[in-house]
């Protein structure tokens, strides 16, 4: 995991890939990068391939097919999207993470990695991570529909860390989703 984090931070600091890289990092942490063979990958519901001579990236997503500009990642050109960036992180480190067992596990993995993109961001298609400023500083809460958790992580000066009873807060939030008050 440490090598993954270092690679992400180096790419973030050196290549100006911005929000696409942050989204790619979430794909990596959520275990959505799967290898089909050494030059073909499934990322979520899209296919990323390295094709041709000279080699180039292609992705089946709309961004990768039509809208992205040609950029070099790992010295391979292509219309770069978040899926290609996710594959490149995994290839650089030769690591692919398994999917976490729960959304709480994913949240822990994201916070432990030092992820610090602007809030809000999505944990799944239905769950968002939102920020709020409280008297003691910024906090992270989870939101699904109108159900919002208590603060689950707090800003500690350079990044977020889980609150000591975050697992209980997560469990109560899940209960509130299934049994609204």
Question: pLDDT tens across 115-171, in order?
Answer: 766 777 777 778 888 788 777 788 889 999 899 999 999 888 778 889 999 999 999
Question: End-to-end distance of the chain based on CA atoms, in angstroms?
Answer: 39
Domain that holds residue 172: 103-178
Tell me what pLDDT residue 180 has: 76
Overall domain count for the chain: 2
- The pTM is what? 0.80
| Same domain for 62 and 6 | yes
What is the average pLDDT across 86-90? 90
For residue 98, is it within any domain? Answer: no
Using the predicted structure, report yes or no on whether residue 69 has a pLDDT greater than 60.
Answer: no
Cα–Cα distance list, 160 to 16, 111, 131, 138 (Å)? 23, 6, 11, 9
Using the predicted structure, report yes or no on whether residue 27 has a pLDDT greater than 80.
Answer: yes
Tell me what pLDDT residue 164 has: 92
Domain boundary among 44, 63, 93: 93
| Same domain for 84 and 60 | yes
Tell me what pLDDT residue 129 has: 84
| Same domain for 47 and 18 | yes
Mean pLDDT estimate for the chain: 83
For residue 162, is it within any domain? Answer: yes
| Same domain for 33 and 85 | yes
Three-state secondary structure call for residue 71: strand
Using the predicted structure, report yes or no on whether residue 111 has a pLDDT greater than 90.
Answer: no
Domain boundary among 93, 128, 154: 93
Using the predicted structure, report yes or no on whether residue 15 has a pLDDT greater than 70.
Answer: no
| Same domain for 170 and 111 | yes
| Same domain for 55 and 20 | yes
**172 within 8 A of 161, measured Cβ to Cβ:** no
Instruction: Name the one residue in this structure whose structure tokens are 């699904």.
Output: 144
| Same domain for 87 and 16 | yes
| Same domain for 84 and 110 | no
Q: Which residues contact 145 (CB under 8 A, 6 or more apart)?
A: 126, 177
Instruction: For 4, list phi and psi in degrees, rounded to 5.
Output: -60, -50
| Same domain for 141 and 89 | no
| Same domain for 167 and 139 | yes
Most confident of 11-15, 38-42, 76-80: 38-42
Please name the residue ranges forming H helices in the chain. 2-14, 18-29, 62, 82-93, 103-112, 166-178
What is the average pLDDT across 54-64? 83
What is the average pLDDT across 36-62? 88
Domain boundary among 93, 127, 147: 93
Three-state secondary structure call for residue 52: coil
């Amino acid at each position: 995991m440490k090598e993954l984090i270092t690679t992400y931070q180096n790419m973030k600091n050196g290549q100006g890939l911005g929000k696409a890289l942050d989204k790619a990092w979430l794909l990596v942490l959520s275990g959505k990068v799967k290898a089909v063979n050494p030059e073909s990958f499934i990322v979520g519901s899209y296919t990323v391939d390295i094709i041709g001579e000279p080699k180039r990236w292609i992705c089946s997503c709309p961004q990768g097919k039509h809208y992205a500009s040609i950029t070099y990642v790992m010295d391979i050109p292509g219309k770069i999207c978040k899926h290609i960036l996710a594959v490149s992180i995994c290839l650089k480190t030769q690591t692919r993470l398994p999917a976490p067992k729960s959304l709480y596990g994913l949240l822990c993995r994201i916070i432990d990695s030092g992820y610090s993109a602007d809030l809000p961001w999505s944990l799944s298609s239905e769950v968002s991570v939102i920020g709020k400023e409280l008297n003691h500083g910024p906090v992270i809460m989870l939101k699904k529909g109108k159900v919002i958790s208590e603060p689950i992580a707090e800003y500690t000066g350079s990044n977020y860390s889980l609150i000591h009873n975050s697992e209980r807060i997560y469990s109560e939030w899940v209960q509130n989703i299934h049994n609204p008050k």
